[in-house]
Amino acid sequence: MNSVTPQLEILDTDRAERYRDLVGAAVAHTADRFAAVTTPTTDTPAATLRARVESIDLDAPLHSAEAAVDEVDGLFSAEAVWFHHPASLAHLNCPVALPAVAAEAVLAAVNPSVDTWDQSRIGTEIERRVVRWATETIGFADGDGVFTSGGSQSNLHALLLARQAATLRGPASGRRGRPSLDDLVVFATASSHFSVRKSAMVLGLPEHAVVDVATDAAGRMRPDALAHAIADARREGRTPMAVIATAGTTDRGCIDPLEPIADVCDLEGAWLHVDAAYGCGLLVSPTRRHLLDGVERARSVTADFHKSFFQPVSSSALLVRVPEDLGLAAWHADYLNPEDAEEPNQVDKSLQTTRRLDALKLWASLRASGAEAIGRAFDTVIDVAGRVHEHVRRHPELVLVAPTDLSTVLFRWQPDDVSDDDADALVAPLRAALLAEGRVLIAKTVIDGRPCNKLTLLNPGATEDQVVAALGHVAATARRLHVERQRSARHATETTGARR
């Protein structure tokens, strides 16, 4: 038994070399894992993973930082999901830019917080400069913004600002006094991110506050339907709080028509928020920037750099056209950010207090390769997705469910002799079987009331041939599962008949 009482090792001047050795060992382990990856994850059963974690006594330390690092490698890294593998096709997770990974390591060691200037100093200036670059890229003449933990927080923050603007600016149509929360309406579509409705709940809005605007056949918001929906709300004495246009819906990857939606919002005086969490990479695309025409007319924009800018999680931002809008949700405390402070305290703009300098990762990426290189990488995944769509259209056993503007592929396994019911029943088991196997990862969703499977391409290193090969395995697995289900059904019928 080790009789020495373990001590917490703090990174300080005396442990600089210790830091180099320990983190170097962790990096070496991880590099070895990257070099050896052959599948996006393992086939270890979920119950086994759970049992491994539960078997570890967190009150019985290993008495060694090296042992702890080794355990992290063997416990976590050995069973991780690897988003850089070309068969990792399930979700909006991206492989990450190397300069950003290096910056992440710096952040972890230095551990700055950008809530107040005196805790980060130049870190605050770096975030403010990256935000200014992002707003200029959108087309805001004098915008501002703040980094957040992700698209959900960015959307929540935007809706909070819109709520404040709606409740502070004056009376609702046909009513006296300022509108109550029950009067407010958020206009979105059924394809809007789930965080829109969740944010409405968090902000104290009633369940009926979010109104689904009709869409076209591709799932895009119809501007004429938006105008009618706003008119209907006003006739009911309700107040339009915000319109949520999506630039890259999670399932279809489609982009709402931003220019005509902005026309409606300008006419109605409605706050336009563009959720570009997925599609923000188009801002720097050399070939597809026009797909975001009109985004510069939004009052606020969500951008998830940890999606189509290939940054490590987390790296998102809420960006606003009018800097003063961020003050709608400001809160001051004498011990933290007094109103008369001369220093630029970012907590004045943020929903968070302690907050990472996530802007440093994007700074490193922009300085290393430039914005156009990021845009070309996003173009690559969209180009591959287009060719995969054509492959699915030609495939004898796969059905393309919907088109896309970005990099999703919605499909069903359904040869001509397979009924709709049988194809629908196979969607979830197919995804589960592939996940258990670990060779190819796909997702499932529901489009127009019917389940389907989904690929989300976000790896610029994955080739068309690799994705097509993965789809071949998906189709073969679906065929096997279908045969097994038919055999089981026949056996059940025969067994029931024999008992009669």
Q: Report how far apart, in Å, the C-alpha atoms of 187 and of each of 43, 264, 273, 299 are.
A: 43, 12, 10, 15
Report the pLDDT value the prediction gives residue 367, as an integer from 0 to 100: 98
Report the pLDDT value the prediction gives residue 269, as an integer from 0 to 100: 95
pLDDT digits (tens, 9 = 90+) for 175-234: 456 788 999 999 999 999 999 999 999 999 999 999 999 999 999 999 999 999 999 999
Strand partners, 450: 447
Report the pLDDT value the prediction gives residue 294, as an integer from 0 to 100: 98
pLDDT digits (tens, 9 = 90+) for 258-308: 999 999 999 999 999 999 999 999 999 999 999 999 999 999 999 999 999
Report the pLDDT value the prediction gives residue 498, as an integer from 0 to 100: 64
Rounded to the nearest angstrom, the gap between the alpha carbon of residue 214 and the centroid of all alpha carbons in its chain is: 24
Instruction: Tell the burial category of 314 from Cβ atoms under 10 Å away from its Cβ (0-12, 13-18, 19+).
Output: middle
**Mean pLDDT for the chain?**
95
Residue-by-residue DSSP string for 306-342: HHHT-PPS--EEEEESSGGGGGGG----TTT--TT--
Q: Is pLDDT above 50 for 172?
A: no
Q: Is pLDDT above 90 for 495?
A: no
**Hey, CA dihedral for 148, 150, 152, 154, is it positive or negative?**
positive
- Are 305 and 284 in contact by the 8 Å Cβ rule? The answer is no
Q: Report how far apart, in Å, the C-alpha atoms of 274 and of each of 17, 141, 301, 364, 457 are.
A: 47, 17, 5, 26, 22
DSSP state of 444: E
Place of tokens 């490590």: 312
Q: Is pLDDT above 90 for 27?
A: yes
276 in helix, strand or coil? strand
How far is it, in rounded angstroms, from Cα 324 to Cα 155? 18
Strand partners, 186: 210, 242
Average the pLDDT over each of 383-397, 419-433, 486-500 and give the range with the smallest value. 486-500
Report the pLDDT value the prediction gives residue 493, as an integer from 0 to 100: 72
DSSP state of 53: H
> Crossing angle for the helix pair 258-268 and 223-235, nearest 10 degrees?
20
DSSP state of 284: G
Report the pLDDT value the prediction gives residue 491, as an integer from 0 to 100: 74
Closest CA to 360 of 117, 130, 138: 130
Overall size of the chain counted in residues: 500
- Are 357 and 123 in contact by the 8 Å Cβ rule? The answer is yes
When pLDDT is cut at 50, 70 and 90, the band that residue 169 belongs to is low
Average the pLDDT over each of 73-82, 178-187, 432-441 and give the range with the smallest value. 178-187
When pLDDT is cut at 50, 70 and 90, the band that residue 3 belongs to is low
pLDDT digits (tens, 9 = 90+) for 365-413: 999 999 999 999 999 999 999 999 999 999 999 999 999 999 999 999 9
| 134-363-337 Cα angle (round to 5) | 75
Closest CA to 301 of 69, 146, 439, 163: 146
Query: Could you tell me the maximum CA-CA distance found in the chain, to the nearest angstrom?
Result: 88
Domains of the chain: residue spans and CATH: 13-82 (1.20.1650.10), 113-369 (3.40.640.10), 373-494 (3.90.1150.170)
